Amino acid sequence: EEVPSQQQVVLFASPGAGHLIPVAELARRLTTDHGLAVTLVTLTGMSDPATDAAVLSSLPATVATSVLPAVSLDDLSPDIGFGALMFELVRRSLPHLRALMEGGGGAVAALVCDFFGTAALPLAAELGAQGYVFFPNSFALISIMRHIVELHGDAAPGEYRDLPDPLPLPGGPVLRHADLPDGFRDRKELVYAYVIEEAWRYGRADGFLVNSFEELETAMAETFKRDAEDGAFPPVYPVGPFVRSSSGEESDESACLEWLDRQPEGSVVYVSFGTGGALSVEQTAELAAGLEMSGLRFLWVVRMPSLDGSPCALGTIPGDNNDPLAWLPDGFLERTRGRGLAVAAWAPQVRVLAHPATAAFVSHCGWNSTLESVAAGVPMVAWPLYAEQKMNAAILTEVTGVALRPAAARGDGLVTREEIAAALLELMEGEKGGAVRGRARALRQAAVRAWSLDGSSRRALGEVVGKWRAALLNK
Ligand code: UDP
């Protein structure tokens, strides 16, 4: 039996649970299913170290982990925004990544970077490793990234806002400009230059792993397959859905699950806006009123409301004595006692979605949440807030049909209690809701098939591993 040398594959995760969770799942599969020696590398400074540590602690001991030292971002104005800061953090951490890869001993077959991380691809080439991109998102977002480069070409520098609205994506949703990811609409936004640079490097990657599966984005997957055959774009392997596998007890985990155990099957609406989503004070109160008005059972993960109106709270660290439940309307918890549970900040989402009592998910449509819902067969009310969530909502409603999106959740205005209650009741009991529920059940089966013994995602990852092994033999 060959002893694997250290660091056959280096996974370079971008900050944030939404990145680290699927990258960790990739690491787990590469070691346990394929016996590769994997080092998972994380960055310091833009994610909560405790959350990172909790995710990493669920990994098998065979996955090596390494946290790169902090780099200074002090010279940058916080106004440049979260995305631009992420790109800068990666760029400034590259010398540390290089030192790690050079000092690890043994040949590195592949460096796999994440969205925000392709500045590391030239390093892979220099060290003789294959450079792959793990894309923790949809084919549709890769498509958007490709076309932004073409738009920005020297011949005719353009922008997305010059294109027809709505914009048909080849093999994907017809996308309203308002649903384009943040930072992509207008080249005057600071992050735009970073996005262009990131996207421009995609053409130079040896391949992509995308956290999607063939039956989720069928036409898109085919489009990319053809483009790879024609040499127009690197091969993109759909290897998802990666859903965090349960990992022993997390703190506070049991309260939610015990409560769910006491609810009737298929009765509970789960409400969560991810790790960064924030509602205004007014919207928080309106959502509470909508849940109350619906008369349905609910499990709501309440986060601190946004006081400045920004829908994204990433990068702001709440103080210890900030209790999000204190922002709920007076008497709400008492009036809904028994049929509603509001928890502060965090719920064991994968387990909640898999619980038989859970019937629907009011979601910000972060891609991990999306896949977790799909994998559990739970239909959604799409309530996207920022980043690429509006595009994800478009995919969920228009391509896969597993979500309803209240009209008011399209703009930046208030989603009223009436709209919230109506959307929930439609999804749970209505005719349109019935079709959506049926699609969710069917897509769950497809997600299971993707990772069954001869499933498309399992095969795709196997094919990539085969390439990396061949590269190792040639070293
Ligand atoms: N998550 C969780 N409990 C929570 C909130 C989030 O377990 O209360 C997990 C969720 O299951 C998902 C990840 O955190 O795996 C959030 O990723 P996603 O892409 O959905 O959204 P983001 O937080 O990046 O906006």
CA of 278 to the centre of ligand 1 (A): 13
Q: Mean pLDDT, to the nearest integer, of 162-179?
A: 86
Tokens of 353: 């979605």
Model confidence at 298: pLDDT above 50? yes
Q: Which of 20-29, 128-137, 170-179 bottoms out in mean pLDDT, i.e. has the lowest?
A: 170-179
Between 126-140, 146-160, 161-175, the lowest mean confidence (pLDDT) is in 146-160
114 catalytically annotated: yes
- Of the candidates 230, 233, 244, 238, the residue with the CA atom closest to the CA atom of residue 462: 238
**Does residue 321 surpass a pLDDT of 80?**
no
Question: pLDDT class for 3, splitting at 50, 70, 90?
Answer: very low
Q: Give me the pLDDT at residue 168, please.
A: 86
The pLDDT tens digits of the residues spanning 181-190 come to: 987 777 777 8
Among 43-57, 162-176, 255-269, 281-295, the range scoring the smallest mean pLDDT is 162-176
Ligand 1 pocket check for 372: Cβ under 6 Å: yes
Query: Of the listed 52, 96, 114, 152, which one is catalytic?
Result: 114
Q: What is the pLDDT of residue 475?
A: 75
Q: What is the ipTM of this complex?
A: 0.99
19 is annotated as an active-site residue: yes
Query: How close is the Cα of 275 to the center of ligand 1, in Å?
Result: 5
| Mean pLDDT taken over the chain | 91
Question: How would residue 106 be classed by pLDDT, with cut points 50, 70 and 90?
Answer: confident
Q: Which atom of ligand 1 is nearest to the CA of 349?
A: 7
Ligand 1 close to Cβ of residue 250 (< 6 A): no
Nearest C-alpha to atom 13 of ligand 1 is from which residue?
Answer: 18
**pTM of the predicted model as reported, rounded to 2 decimal places:** 0.94
Q: State how far the Cα of 389 lies from the Cα of 183, in Å rounded to an integer.
A: 12
Structure tokens at 31: 């070691």
Residue 2: the pLDDT is 46
347 CB under 6 A from ligand 1? yes
Ligand 1 near 138 CB (within 6 A): no
Q: Which atom of ligand 1 is nearest to the CA of 275?
A: 23
Contact between 408 and 414 (Cβ < 8 Å): yes
Tokens of 379: 């239909």
Higher pLDDT, residue 231 or 244: 231
Three-point CA angle 124, 128, 130, nearest 5°: 55
* Centre of ligand 1 from the C-alpha of residue 364, in Å: 10
Ligand 1 geometric centre to CA of 41 (Å): 20
Rounded percentage of the chain residues whose pLDDT exceeds 90: 73
Query: Could you tell me the pLDDT band of residue 319, with boundaries at 50, 70 and 90?
Result: low
With beta carbons less than 8 A apart as the criterion, state whether 75 and 97 touch: no
Order of all β-strands in the sheet with 340-344: 340-344, 297-302, 268-272, 358-363, 380-382, 403-404
Spatial neighbors of 392 by CB under 8 A, at least 6 apart, are 137, 138, 365, 366, 367, 370, 382, 384
Query: How does pLDDT run across 140-154, given as a tens digit for each residue?
Result: 999 999 988 777 765
Ligand 1 centroid from CA 17, angstroms = 7
pLDDT tens per residue across span 339-385:
999 999 889 999 999 999 999 999 999 999 999 999 999 999 999 99
Mean pLDDT, residues 66-76 taken together: 94
* 216: amino acid identity, one letter: L
